[in-house]
Structure formats: structure tokens, C-alpha cells
């Protein structure tokens, strides 16, 4: 990982690693019977999966695999400050979009249709909203002065 002059990692990198590890843990727990209720009803994809992580969040094999891939991508991107920012801010925006998609699926009446292929339920939508806002805030607010190659741009200074 990139370290600053004192030999410590930037806060944005530490946050990105923490979030990536959280996604890896969630992805693994989705495959653990007992932590995942209705494990026998776990399907590859789609709304027909009745498996629920912690009894709340509707999951499928695809849903768990996406969490694992997202966590791995976060670990790779967190090696650099810019990558950590991209993972957190971009991932946050992605999760906000996923929340909007989940709300569309719910309110368009297609919750039990082919459009709900991940699958998503109300608890997932709330979690995606909170994850999106949290990741976006971390990516945009942590270590403002690091990784830009210089001072922050002021519009008055532009040619």
C-alpha cells in the first residue's frame, strides 16, 4: 500500500481495506448454513431464492459471489490512494444505484419477476442505501490533500 512520509497508510486506504474485508466476510457468511436461514432454498440467481443472510437479507449464489468479487476488487484498489478513493466513492455510487434499482423492482411490481435477478428485498435496499452513503462519504471526505499530486485546484487559478 502507498504510505505517507511517516510510513503510515492514508486514512482513505485503511477505510477501503476495512470496507473490502467487510464485503468478503458478508460474501463468505452467505454460504454458511445457520447464519444463512433457508440455506436449502439458496438458488444461483433470481427472486426464487428464499435464503436469507442473518434471516433478513435475501441472497443467492450470485449475490454472494458479487460481494466476494467486490471485496477482492476493494483490496486490490486499496493499494493506492487513488484506487481506494475510486473503490469507496465509485462503489458508493454503485450501491446507491443498486438501491434505486431495488426500489424500482419493488414499486414497479416486479419483485417476483425476472428483473429481480440478484435478488433484492426491502432489507437489502436499506442496507444498499446506507452502504452507498457511507462509502461515498468515506471516499470523498478522507485525506483530501493526499494523492492529488499537489494543492487542491481553485477555479480562479485555471487559465
Q: What is the pLDDT of residues 71-97, one digit of tens each?
A: 999 999 999 999 999 999 999 999 999
Query: 3 in a domain, yes or no?
Result: no
Domain membership of residue 52 as a residue range: 11-144
Checking 145-151 for CB contacts under 8 A at 24+ apart, the result is 146/4, 146/10, 146/12, 146/81, 147/2, 147/10, 147/12, 147/80, 147/81, 147/82, 147/85
Bigger pLDDT: 71 vs 59: 71
Task: Report the pLDDT value the prediction gives residue 20, as an integer from 0 to 100.
Answer: 97
Query: 158 in a domain, yes or no?
Result: no
Query: 151 in a domain, yes or no?
Result: no
Predicted model pTM: 0.79
pLDDT, the chain, mean: 83
Query: 123 in a domain, yes or no?
Result: yes
Query: 96 in a domain, yes or no?
Result: yes
What is the total count of domains within the chain?
1
Question: Taking the CB of residue 84, how many other CB atoms lie within 10 A of it?
Answer: 32
Query: 153 in a domain, yes or no?
Result: no
Query: 4 in a domain, yes or no?
Result: no
CA 87 – CA 16 distance, rounded (Å): 7
User: Of 116, 126, 60, 120, which Cα lies nearest the Cα of 96?
Assistant: 126
With a cut of 80, say whether residue 61 has pLDDT above it.
yes
Amino acid at each position: 500500500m502507498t504510505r505517507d512520509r511517516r510510513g503510515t497508510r492514508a486514512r482513505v486506504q485503511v477505510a477501503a481495506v476495512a470496507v473490502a474485508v467487510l464485503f468478503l466476510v458478508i460474501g463468505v457468511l452467505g454460504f454458511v448454513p445457520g447464519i444463512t436461514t433457508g440455506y436449502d432454498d439458496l438458488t444461483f440467481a433470481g427472486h426464487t431464492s428464499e435464503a436469507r443472510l442473518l434471516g433478513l437479507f435475501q441472497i443467492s449464489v450470485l449475490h454472494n459471489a458479487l460481494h466476494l468479487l467486490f471485496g477482492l476488487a476493494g483490496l486490490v484498489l486499496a493499494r493506492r490512494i487513488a484506487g481506494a478513493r475510486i473503490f469507496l466513492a465509485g462503489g458508493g455510487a454503485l450501491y446507491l444505484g443498486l438501491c434505486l434499482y431495488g426500489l424500482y423492482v419493488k414499486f414497479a411490481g416486479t419483485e417476483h419477476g425476472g428483473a429481480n435477478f440478484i435478488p433484492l428485498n426491502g432489507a437489502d435496499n436499506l442496507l444498499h442505501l446506507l452502504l452507498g452513503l457511507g462509502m461515498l462519504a468515506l471516499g470523498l471526505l478522507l485525506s483530501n490533500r493526499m494523492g492529488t499530486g499537489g494543492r487542491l485546484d481553485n477555479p480562479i487559478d485555471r487559465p
